[in-house]
Chain A
Amino acid sequence: MVITGVGLAAPNGNSLAEFRQNLLNGKSGIRKFDVRYMGEVIAGVCDFDPLKYQKKKELRRGTRAGSTAIYCAQEAVADSGLDFDSLDKSRVGVFLGITEHGNVDTEKQIYEIKQYDYDTRYVSHHYNPRIVANNPAGEVTLNMGITGPHYTLGAACAGGNIGLIQGYQMLLLNHVDVALAGGVSETIHAFGAFASFRSEGALASHEDPTKACRPFDRDRNGVVVSEGGCVFVLERLAGALARGARIYGEVVGYAMNSDAFDFILPNAEGQARCMQLALKMAGLSPSDVNLISTHATGTPQGDPQECQAIRQVFDGCPNTYINNTKSMIGHAMGAAAALELAGNLPSFEDQTVHPTINIDNLDPDCALDNLVFNEPRKVGRIDYILNNAFGMLGINSTVIVKRLENSS
């Protein structure tokens, strides 16, 4: 299965080219943002033009996640060069990872009915179609006339990887010929995630928002919540070659597993096993991997767990480089893994690893060999990228993508 199109909305870019350039330049997309009940918080906010693909009425009726997913799916299809109008739309599927969905409109409805002394007659008739869990993927099908399967995959912060894996599996099962797969999040438009992370002592704070997300730095103090989306066009290699498609890379391995350890805390053992399973599926040795795109979110407790897992699996691999995208875009929740993979795919071509920013004092516990930080590094040929994404309730995911000779 190969990736032949990328569409994305990130806090620092509305196309892969713009996103990649900003990642290479170490440009953060994090800023101050007002949230109901909490006031000013630090967040990653997207500024794509939703009216590029939607009418005002569609925007009014749908959700932010739906709108983001539509933008990303349309951009991905345009990028893929597929003649979408002539495709059999019943053979196209939409599979989007989400961390959660529905909170934004639920919070909004409760706010609305509060103005009417909690009279539930004022709950919008649009509420149900907005909060059903398939909403973001379903809005894509309505917008694009897709009649194949669509659904979301609730997978906490591993969502973006899981969406991609689902697309792979649906292609493998021959249920679809084109998978629009990735992840999306509208989380910043409700107070819940910010407030709960704060109560956990895991919400990032810094007087300069662009410095708030600092994975692996000694002074990291939590998560920066972001919105965003990323959709890949995934298709079978033979079909992509037959139509002369530009191929970003081939998905050659993946794994998903569970820690069975804790509601919130990550676990190095489970993460290491996940990476090993993905390597096994791909038939690779650890030293074959040239770039590890880490999940690290910038929490004091979480980052060292992933570092420990990486040391356990990749000890003695001098050609394996490591970076982190969240330092520039925050944690885009359901979209995170897909965005982080997308931002690294161009390294197959430019042979450069984008940096992790905001490391002023590298935490000794996180001082991985070949961690690329503060400046991009030209490292030579990159053949395999390994993309990690982990989430609450101990969900782990790893995807491995291979460079093809005709890669873009």
Chain B
Amino acid sequence: MTKEEIKTVILDIIAEIAPDEDLSDIKSDVPFRDQLELDSMDFLDIVMELRKRYGIEVPEDDYQQLATLDSSVAYLEPRMKDL
């Protein structure tokens, strides 16, 4: 997957987790939780969806890597490049 495709995947997952939110002007370098009503349980949904959809396991120590859209893409790119 390309970076753009990974970005789309992340936004797709967030759209499912936060169905009441408008994601059209989300800032890629600002933490999701500063822009959206997401709590820790919602955040775990991102981890679960990555596991379910792509078999990617994000260890707890790496959760902070998924804080922003940019950091998520950077973290996932080497793990999803062959998908």
* A, B: real partners: yes
**Residues on A with beta carbons closer than 8 Å to the beta carbon of B19:** 55-57, 60
Tell me if A381 is interfacial: C-beta within 8 Å of chain B. Answer: no
- 18 more A-B contacts (CB under 8 A) besides A61-B41, A122-B48? A55-B19, A55-B20, A56-B19, A56-B20, A57-B17, A57-B18, A57-B19, A57-B20, A57-B37, A57-B42, A60-B17, A60-B19, A116-B52, A122-B51, A124-B48, A125-B41, A125-B44, A125-B45
Interface string of A50-66 (1 = CB under 8 A from B): 00000111001100000
Which residue numbers of A lie inside 8 Å of B, CB to CB?
A: 55-57, 60-61, 116, 121-122, 124-126
**Complexed CA–CA distance, A116 and B54 (Å):** 12
When C-beta atoms are compared, the residue in chain B nearest to A119 turns out to be B51
**Residues on B with beta carbons closer than 8 Å to the beta carbon of A57:** 17-20, 37, 42
**Residues on A with beta carbons closer than 8 Å to the beta carbon of B17:** 57, 60
Can you list 11 pairs linking A and B with CB atoms under 8 Å apart?
A: A55-B19, A56-B19, A57-B19, A57-B37, A60-B19, A121-B51, A122-B51, A122-B52, A124-B48, A125-B48, A126-B41
**Complexed CA–CA distance, A131 and B10 (Å):** 29
**Complexed CA–CA distance, A116 and B20 (Å):** 29
How many whole Å from B66's CB to the nearest CB in chain A? 15
The majority secondary structure among interface residues of chain A is helix
When C-beta atoms are compared, the residue in chain A nearest to B38 turns out to be A57
**Residues on B with beta carbons closer than 8 Å to the beta carbon of A60:** 17, 19
**Complexed CA–CA distance, A272 and B19 (Å):** 52
Interface residues on chain B, size class:
10 to 19
Q: Which of B8-47 contact A (CB under 8 A)?
A: 17-20, 37, 41-42, 44-45
**Residues on A with beta carbons closer than 8 Å to the beta carbon of B44:** 125
How many whole Å from A327's CB to the nearest CB in chain B? 39
**Complexed CA–CA distance, A144 and B17 (Å):** 22
When C-beta atoms are compared, the residue in chain A nearest to B47 turns out to be A125
How many whole Å from B8's CB to the nearest CB in chain A? 21
* Max chain B C-beta neighbours (<10 A), residue from A57, A61, A126: A57
**Residues on A with beta carbons closer than 8 Å to the beta carbon of B48:** 122, 124-125
**Residues on B with beta carbons closer than 8 Å to the beta carbon of A126:** 41
**Complexed CA–CA distance, A304 and B34 (Å):** 63
**Complexed CA–CA distance, A126 and B48 (Å):** 11
**Complexed CA–CA distance, A56 and B37 (Å):** 12
**Complexed CA–CA distance, A164 and B44 (Å):** 38
**Residues on B with beta carbons closer than 8 Å to the beta carbon of A61:** 41
**Complexed CA–CA distance, A124 and B41 (Å):** 10
**Residues on A with beta carbons closer than 8 Å to the beta carbon of B42:** 57
How many whole Å from A53's CB to the nearest CB in chain B? 14
When C-beta atoms are compared, the residue in chain A nearest to B44 turns out to be A125
Ordered nearest first, which 3 A-B pairs have the shortest CB separation? A56-B19, A125-B44, A55-B20
How many whole Å from B68's CB to the nearest CB in chain A? 21
**Residues on A with beta carbons closer than 8 Å to the beta carbon of B51:** 121-122
How many whole Å from A158's CB to the nearest CB in chain B? 34
How many whole Å from A329's CB to the nearest CB in chain B? 31
How many whole Å from A68's CB to the nearest CB in chain B? 20
**Residues on A with beta carbons closer than 8 Å to the beta carbon of B20:** 55-57
**Residues on B with beta carbons closer than 8 Å to the beta carbon of A116:** 52
**Residues on A with beta carbons closer than 8 Å to the beta carbon of B18:** 57
**Complexed CA–CA distance, A124 and B42 (Å):** 11
**Complexed CA–CA distance, A54 and B52 (Å):** 27
**Residues on A with beta carbons closer than 8 Å to the beta carbon of B41:** 61, 125-126
When C-beta atoms are compared, the residue in chain B nearest to A60 turns out to be B19
**Complexed CA–CA distance, A121 and B41 (Å):** 16
**Complexed CA–CA distance, A61 and B39 (Å):** 12
**Complexed CA–CA distance, A258 and B34 (Å):** 55
How many whole Å from B18's CB to the nearest CB in chain A? 6
When C-beta atoms are compared, the residue in chain B nearest to A121 turns out to be B51
**Complexed CA–CA distance, A226 and B45 (Å):** 31
How many whole Å from B52's CB to the nearest CB in chain A? 6
**Complexed CA–CA distance, A124 and B44 (Å):** 9
**Complexed CA–CA distance, A124 and B49 (Å):** 10
**Residues on B with beta carbons closer than 8 Å to the beta carbon of A55:** 19-20
**Complexed CA–CA distance, A61 and B43 (Å):** 13
When C-beta atoms are compared, the residue in chain B nearest to A123 turns out to be B48
How many whole Å from A120's CB to the nearest CB in chain B? 12
**Complexed CA–CA distance, A334 and B48 (Å):** 33
**Residues on A with beta carbons closer than 8 Å to the beta carbon of B37:** 57
How many whole Å from A61's CB to the nearest CB in chain B? 7
Q: Which of B38-83 contact A (CB under 8 A)?
A: 41-42, 44-45, 48, 51-52
**Residues on B with beta carbons closer than 8 Å to the beta carbon of A125:** 41, 44-45, 48
